Every structure is written in C-alpha cells, then in structure tokens.
Amino acid sequence: MARPSSTFSDFVLSTTNQTLVPKVVDNILNGNFGLMRFLSNSEPWNGGDQLMLPVKIQKGTANGSYAGLDTLSTAQTSDRILASVDPKQYYGAVVVSGIQRAVNSGDGKVLDLLATEMSSKADDLKDTLGDGFYGDGTGNANKDLTGLRAAVDDSTFVTTYEGISRATYTQWRSTITSDATVTLPDFATDFNAAKVGAEDPNLLLSTPAVFNIFEALMDQDVRYSLSFTGYDQIYAKGLPRKSSNLAQGQGFNSLYFRGVPLVADEKCTAGRLYTLNENHIFFKTFRKHPKHSSQSNGFFWTGLKEPVNQDGEVGHFLWYGNLASDGPRFSALRYSITG
C-alpha cells in the first residue's frame, strides 16, 4: 500500500509487524491465569460453523454375564448424543492517525508509537477475553465466550449448555454448592464430586480472597515452610514448580490440595471456587483465515490499512474460537463464598 509523505517505509513496517505482532499475542496469552492456562493449551478447530462433540449419556444394554450357549444380546442402544459449540469472535483495533505519524518524525519514534499502541490494545483484548472466560456466553447479544459460568453448572444458572438440556440429561450437570464459609472438608467434597472413575480434577481456580482463605486453613508447618521457600509457580503448561528452575514465561503462585494446584485469578467471579478437570474443558480455536496468517491459538493480524475516508491507518487483531466441554460432570463449583 502506498503511503504518501510517510516517515517510514513498507520494508520497516513489514519488519515491525513480524516483531511486534507475536509479542502482542504472547502478552495476551500471558494474561490472567485462567485465560493463559486454557488458551495456551487450545486445540485446533478445523472448520465448520459448529463444533460437534459426541457425548455418552447412558450405559449400553448389550453387555453382561452369561453361561454356556446363552443367547447374547445384539440390541443396539443409542447411548450418545451430540453437543454443539458455536464459534465466537473477538477483535482489538490498532489505530494510528495521520497527525500522530506527522509529529513522530523518524523511523524509531514511529515504531515506538506502533509498539505502544499495539501493547495497549493487547492489554485491552486480554482483559475482555479474561472476562469472557468466566462468563456464560449471553453478553453482547450472545456474542461473548461461552465460559466457565455455563460449562460448570447444574442448571441453576444455565439450563441448556451446548444444545443439551441439563433438565433432561443429568449426566450433563456439574456438582455445584452455595456456601458462605469454606472449610478444608468442603475442598474434599468438591474434589470427590468432580472425580469420575480414575479421572481426578487437576486444577482449582478461584479468587485471591479464596486463595487467602485456603492458605489460612493450611497446617501451620506448611505455612511456615512457605514463608521460607515461597510459592510454587504454575505456568501455561505442566504442574507447578519452583521459580528457580523456570526458564521462561509468566508464573502464578499456587498452593496444593491433594496434589492439585489452587491458583488465584483476579478475573474469577467473586466468591467462586472451581474444581476443574482440564481434560474435559478446553478452548477450540481456528488456525486458518482465508486472508490473514495465524499468529497463535486463534489470533490473526490484518495488518495496517488506510481507510478511504479517514486520515490514518487501522489494523485489527482477530480471534476465533470458543471454550468447550465434553463432560461438565468432571468439574465442580462452590459459590457465594464470603469467608
């Protein structure tokens, strides 16, 4: 695109995009813990206007014990239904006006302007996506993410999830409890409720206030040890580990319950404690765009474009995907916690 009177060339701009855009996406991914953890481990959404997830809702009848030449049942039972997930879209606009270009003479200052603007918009998009991660998908005329509020529920707040009625299918319900005061036995109750067979929950997610409550409930010797050794840090991938052994990435403090990390997230809805199985709650994100190259985990950058009726340049960060679950019963929620 021709840029009359521009103080920087297309070559510089293209190099700037190659440098700044990945940093912006990394900044978004290293945001609040819940968004970082799940979005960094997102799975590809390979096209289609809906994601269809097969869900087992009952036990088949063609099985059991028998003796000798008993007739074996060959009855075919319908024990699965399809859950449907709609894609959601987010954007962040980067705008540089003509006068801003004019007063920032020289390549270096213009690049500083773009870097500052891109970093600012990354913070905005990170904040908005973080809110959506804990939402129910009804915000902004049902355009927001279908977040944890919808995924982890028993029909108290969200009756139909991914097209399946929780009133009809009890297997599609999480165990949720309203409790003002949380105790260590409550953590155990929620853990056991989210445990299905050999599958245990592997992440506890809550607010800084609940994190503090759990820390106060811990054994005095454990708290004494923490004061000397510090908290283990949990990152986008893997289990918590000591910060001295970490090579890169942004870490978040964690405590343990039954070997499972509890992490505080300032974006988590007040008074909520989620007991989650990450194998059954996940982001699905698009990795291809018909025009723009993908950056990472569903993000695309349109590049800077000059509007036909404005003095400036506009670029957009785009994101396509949604949070999905193939088993709400593998997670639990305790809410309305105040102390």
The answer to whether residue 1 is domain-embedded is: no
Residue 164 CA to residue 33 CA, distance in Å, equals 29
| pTM for this entry | 0.83
The answer to whether residue 4 is domain-embedded is: no
Residue 310 CA to residue 201 CA, distance in Å, equals 52
Q: Which of 124-128, 136-140, 216-220, 242-246 has the highest mean pLDDT?
A: 136-140
pLDDT at 136: 97
The answer to whether residue 50 is domain-embedded is: yes
The answer to whether residue 48 is domain-embedded is: yes
Q: What is the band of 298 on the pLDDT scale with cuts at 50, 70, 90?
A: confident
The answer to whether residue 68 is domain-embedded is: no
| CB contact set of 67 (below 8 Å; sequence gap of 6+) | none
Instruction: Give the β-pairing of 281-286 and 273-276.
Output: unpaired
Answer yes or no: is pLDDT of 99 > 60. Answer: yes
The answer to whether residue 285 is domain-embedded is: yes
Average pLDDT in the 258-272 region?
Answer: 94
Q: What is the DSSP letter of 109?
A: H
Range of the domain at 135: 19-56+78-335
Burial class (CB within 10 angstroms; exposed 0-12, middle 13-18, buried 19+) of 22: middle
**Token pair 């590809």 is at which residue?**
44
Region of poorest pLDDT, from 188-202, 245-259, 313-327: 245-259
The answer to whether residue 62 is domain-embedded is: no
Give the count of domains, the chain.
Answer: 1
pLDDT at 29: 62
Q: What is the band of 31 on the pLDDT scale with cuts at 50, 70, 90?
A: low
Which CATH number belongs to the domain containing residue 262 in this structure? 3.90.1690
Average pLDDT in the 241-268 region?
Answer: 76
Sequence length of the chain is 339
Residue 254 CA to residue 247 CA, distance in Å, equals 18
pLDDT at 312: 86
**Token pair 């600012």 is at which residue?**
120
The answer to whether residue 9 is domain-embedded is: no
Q: What is the band of 8 on the pLDDT scale with cuts at 50, 70, 90?
A: very low
